Amino acid sequence: MSVTTHETPPVPSNPLGKAWLWARKNLFSSWLNTLLTLFSFWIIWSFIPPALNWLVFQANWIGETRADCTKAGACWVFIHARFGQFMYGLYPHELRWRINLALVIGLLSLVPMFIKSMPRRGRYIACWVVVYPIVVWLLLYGGYLGLERVETRQWGGLTLTLIIASVGIAGALPLGILLALARRSKMPVVRTLSVIFIEFWRGVPLITVLFMSSVMLPLFMAEGTTIDKLVRALVGVILFQSAYVAEVVRGGLQALPKGQTEAAESLALGYWKTQMLVILPQALKLTIPGLVNTIIALFKDTSLVIIIGLFDLFSSVQQATVDPTWLGMSTEGYVFAAMVYWIFCFSMSRYSQYLEKRFHTGLKSH
């Protein structure tokens, strides 16, 4: 009787050998994979060098006017000349320090949130969500403490994009959690009202919500009563986004076994203590990918505020490209806007993966 053994070939110790084994296994494992790999390499080779030439090597980096763009590549002089408009909109140049100060305060106040040993960190985060928007409003709008008033119609650029996205998700998250709990409530009236609310806002496009909040809502208000256009837009965004947050959170609630609730009830915990101490912490951990996806979608959807006359980053770029002195620079403007959106969205995606690993959600991010 003979016994045959199959020895696994030794794995090369040098990096080149490991790279070749990986490529052979993943890229050249069959004739079809080989053809697809070669075709992909051809596409990359056909696209990357011309793109790099236009973006970097043959681009125009130095200058102040369009006449300085003499090379065949991108005219980044346009971005440099209009950078202030893209970041701050029409906010007065001499008062832009207030926006910078609000940003610095926000970044510094975020530091304690990342200190794991900080006591009562949850309360600090809750206070920050309430207090920081008020600080930003006082600084940017002014009219108090000797600060010159700047109307919201002058706000714009990336500043307005961040304001709409951050305030929208900060307001939609708690409202969405309440709606998710209401939809799972045992009280028929509460459950029915939450279902109607959620399905209504999910069935209406955001652009319609913004139009209604800006144009139609004032028609139903008392004569002489006015609400700032930006405030109306923020209310519409919060209501719209809360419906999507509610469905994401409801998915997390349904993923938890009933034994969690039964165990809390056996300890004589009330409904709200059960939700706050047992159910929601676990459900929110499971919904991290869905919530971040909702935040990313909202961040990109802020470009729709142009329909009501607000100029966010994308709208500011569009406005700058129609300037007679910079006609033909739309490609550079859109590439710049795309890069900014990508940086923010990619950062949020990576942070989502970090949170998933930290809280051990059991989900794998690809």
Tell which residue, 252, 307, 271, has the closest CA to residue 187.
271
Question: Which residues make Cβ contacts (< 8 Å) with residue 244, sequence separation at least 6?
Answer: 172, 176, 202, 294, 297
Q: In which band, very low, low, confident or very high, does the pLDDT at 15 lie, cut at 50, 70 and 90? A: low
**For residue 108, what are its two tokens?**
């510094």
How far, in Å, CA of 89 to CA of 150, rounded?
A: 12
N-terminal to C-terminal alpha carbon distance within the chain: 48
**pTM of the shown model:** 0.85
Please work out, in degrees rounded to the nearest 5, the angle formed at the alpha carbon of residue 181 by the alpha carbons of 177 and 182: 115
Question: Which residues make Cβ contacts (< 8 Å) with residue 53, sequence separation at least 6?
Answer: 73
- The residues that bridge with 156 in the sheet, in sequence order, are 311
Question: In this model, does residue 7 exceed pLDDT 60?
Answer: no
170 with 164: CB under 8 angstroms? no
Question: Of 68-72, 249-253, 325-329, where does the model show the most confidence?
Answer: 249-253
- The residues that bridge with 311 in the sheet, in sequence order, are 156
75 with 69: CB under 8 angstroms? yes
Amino acid identity, position 75: C
* pLDDT of amino acid 258: 84
Mean pLDDT, the chain, whole residue set: 87
Domains of the chain by start residue, with CATH: 158-307 (1.10.3720.10)
363 with 102: CB under 8 angstroms? no
Q: In which band, very low, low, confident or very high, does the pLDDT at 361 lie, cut at 50, 70 and 90? A: low
Mean pLDDT computed over 243-268: 88
* pLDDT of amino acid 6: 52
CA 70 to each of CA 11, 53, 67: distance values in angstroms, whole numbers, following the listed order? 54, 14, 7
* pLDDT of amino acid 10: 56
Mean pLDDT computed over 34-56: 88
CA 246 to each of CA 52, 64, 174, 237, 284: distance values in angstroms, whole numbers, following the listed order? 43, 49, 9, 14, 11
Tens digit of each residue's pLDDT (9 = 90 or more) over 155-210: 999 999 999 999 999 999 999 999 999 999 889 999 999 999 999 999 999 999 99
Residue labelled with tokens 């950078």: 83
How far, in Å, CA of 360 to CA of 366, rounded?
A: 15
Q: Is 35 left (phi over 0), alpha (psi -120 to 50) or beta?
A: alpha
* pLDDT of amino acid 9: 54
